[in-house]
């Protein structure tokens, strides 16, 4: 199979970012015309104000910024939308979605109302914590939960009961917003699957410190008495950064998680399987051991590896959920123990062609070293575009790449795209930027930086009329 990597926020459209509406459906039709069977995207959770999909407010809640206003209009809950500006910049107080909720209460069919009630009932195990978390954040100007008054921070039962009554209308608004997201997502997934296109999601191994999950399940995380992490997550210095990456997420208390049979993880993965046909597990190596950084350290340089019970966890997940369509993001510092854990559960790993051309002929990312049980990429959301990467290479490395590829006549990035499709890997995925032959100005993310990430979008005028046929030719040539 072949896939394209494109986060929905990068879709075209009139607003500040893409949505799950008309342009998402048009993109599915583009994939179908090109013979592409997989749409890979980044995590779909509600991000904080920096926009990072890897630091979300919940492992279950959807990003309401992806809700399409035009679809709300088609459902008869709002008038013709005209303002596509910063309508969702504040996730605690969305005027357009308040209008939609009022329209729902006034005009929704009995089926719609029953669907909403069923959604609230079926998702209560995470939804009730999340909506109260959002309501409290709204009352405290967006402050993180550990800076709330102690009785809220520490979830005093009597205080929470009173708040649920006092904030009833706010909580119902947030429940409605999640219902809308889930409904639009289900519609999109149904239409993709009808065209034999699978949706390939992304599940970060860690969760944001400022999230409803950590607030509601503090005993499952390594925190002090005031809710601050004792150690935080990241990776040591590597290809992407000389000082490593200090992500800042709290570490899990694996002993506490194992004590209840990894119930939190089973619930989390069950929800992800409803969202997606395939799931990439970001930072898979953290299930064998993860990099622990003292919380006071400004970078990831000073840290140590903390063991994790990956075999027990995945054994429990497979026993509970059966076959799991997972892909292990096994990049970075990978040890034989990490490879053994991946292979114990027959999980395909990842091969990145941009990493292939240094270190000699035994480099595992070189296509002649690929195995079938892997997913090959030209690059990922953390890489430069392939054209940007190639142009930044030293001339000697550029020549080595071209020599390996047989002195191709095509202009970059197409030789590397072709090489990905020709690989024996069971799935080949190419970022949309490479499909469009875009340079480094169109990069999605630069690891270790906080500015100007997650904002890239394409426009339909970038898509040439013959592009679907060009991709379909590669799909058919290499049996994908």
Residues known to be catalytic: 282, 329, 382
The two structure tokens encoding residue 193: 């699957």
- Cis preceding-peptide flag for 277 (omega within 30 of 0): no
Note whether 440 and 397 are within 8 A (CB).
no
Secondary structure (DSSP) of 202-234: EEESS--SSSHHHHHTGGGB-B-TTS-BSEEEE
How many residues can be counted in the chain?
Answer: 480
Q: CA-CA distances (angstroms) from residue 405 to 171, 264, 362, 367, 413?
A: 57, 46, 16, 10, 12
* 266 alpha-carbon distance from chain centroid: 18
**DSSP 3-state of 423:** coil
What letter would DSSP give residue 281? E
Tell me how crowded residue 31 is: count the other CB atoms within 10 A of its CB.
23
Q: How far apart are CA 27 and CA 307, in angstroms?
A: 42
Close Cβ partners of 429 (under 8 Å, ≥ 6 residues apart): 2, 3, 4, 5, 38, 40, 200, 375, 376, 377, 420
Secondary structure (DSSP) of 168-188: HHHHHHHHHHHHHHHHHHHHH
Residue with tokens 């195990």: 125
Q: How far apart are CA 28 and CA 31, in angstroms?
A: 5
The two structure tokens encoding residue 375: 């997913």
Q: How far apart are CA 49 and CA 88, in angstroms?
A: 10
Note whether 84 and 15 are within 8 A (CB).
yes
Q: How far apart are CA 29 and CA 136, in angstroms?
A: 41
Q: Strand 2-5 to strand 427-431: parallel, antiparallel, or no bridges (unpaired)? A: parallel
Q: How far apart are CA 19 and CA 340, in angstroms?
A: 39
The two structure tokens encoding residue 226: 């005031």
Q: What is the largest CA-CA distance in the chain?
A: 72
Residue with tokens 């290809």: 239
């Amino acid at each position: 199979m072949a896939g394209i990597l494109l986060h929905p926020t990068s879709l075209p459209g009139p607003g500040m970012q893409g949505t799950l509406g008309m342009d998402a459906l048009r993109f599915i039709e583009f994939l179908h015309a090109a013979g592409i069977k997989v749409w890979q995207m980044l995590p779909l959770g509600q991000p904080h104000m920096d926009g990072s999909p890897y630091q979300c407010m919940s492992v279950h809640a959807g990003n309401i910024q992806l809700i399409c206003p035009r679809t709300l209009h088609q459902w008869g809950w709002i008038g013709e939308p005209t303002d596509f500006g910063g309508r969702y910049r504040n996730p605690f107080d969305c005027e357009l979605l308040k209008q939609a909720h009022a329209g729902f209460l006034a005009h929704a069919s009995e089926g719609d109302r029953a669907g909403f009630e069923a959604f609230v009932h079926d998702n209560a195990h995470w939804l009730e914590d999340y909506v109260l978390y959002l309501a409290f954040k709204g009352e405290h100007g967006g402050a993180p939960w550990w800076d709330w008054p102690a009785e809220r921070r520490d979830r005093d039962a009597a205080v929470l009961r009173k708040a649920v009554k006092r904030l009833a209308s706010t909580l119902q608004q947030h429940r409605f917003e999640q219902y809308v997201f889930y409904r639009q997502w289900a519609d999109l997934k149904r239409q993709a699957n009808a065209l034999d296109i699978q949706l390939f999601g992304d599940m970060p191994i860690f969760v944001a410190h400022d999230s409803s999950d950590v607030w509601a399940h503090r005993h499952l995380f390594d925190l002090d008495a005031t809710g601050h992490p004792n150690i935080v997550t990241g990776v040591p210095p590597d290809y992407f950064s000389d000082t490593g990456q200090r992500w800042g997420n709290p570490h899990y208390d694996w002993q506490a998680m194992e004590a209840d049979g990894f119930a939190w993880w089973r619930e989390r993965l069950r929800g992800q399987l409803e969202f997606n046909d395939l799931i990439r597990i970001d930072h898979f190596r953290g299930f064998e051991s993860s990099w622990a950084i003292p919380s006071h350290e400004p970078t990831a340089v000073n840290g140590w590896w903390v063991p994790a019970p990956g075999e027990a966890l995945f054994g429990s997940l497979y026993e509970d959920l059966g076959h799991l369509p997972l892909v292990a993001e096994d990049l970075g510092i990978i040890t034989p123990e990490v490879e053994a854990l991946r292979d114990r559960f027959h999980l395909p790993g990842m091969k990145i062609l941009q990493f292939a051309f240094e270190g000699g002929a035994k480099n595992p990312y070189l296509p002649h070293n690929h195995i079938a049980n892997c997913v090959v990429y030209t690059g990922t959301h953390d890489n430069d575009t392939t054209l940007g990467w190639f142009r930044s290479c030293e001339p000697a490395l550029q020549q080595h790449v071209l020599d390996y590829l047989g002195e191709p006549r095509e202009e970059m990035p197409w030789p590397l795209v072709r090489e990905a499709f020709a690989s024996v890997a069971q799935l080949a995925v190419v970022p949309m930027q490479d499909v469009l032959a875009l340079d480094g100005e169109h990069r999605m993310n630069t690891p270790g930086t906080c500015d100007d990430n997650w904002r890239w979008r394409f426009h339909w005028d970038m898509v040439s009329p013959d592009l679907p046929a060009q991709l379909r030719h590669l799909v058919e040539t290499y049996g994908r």
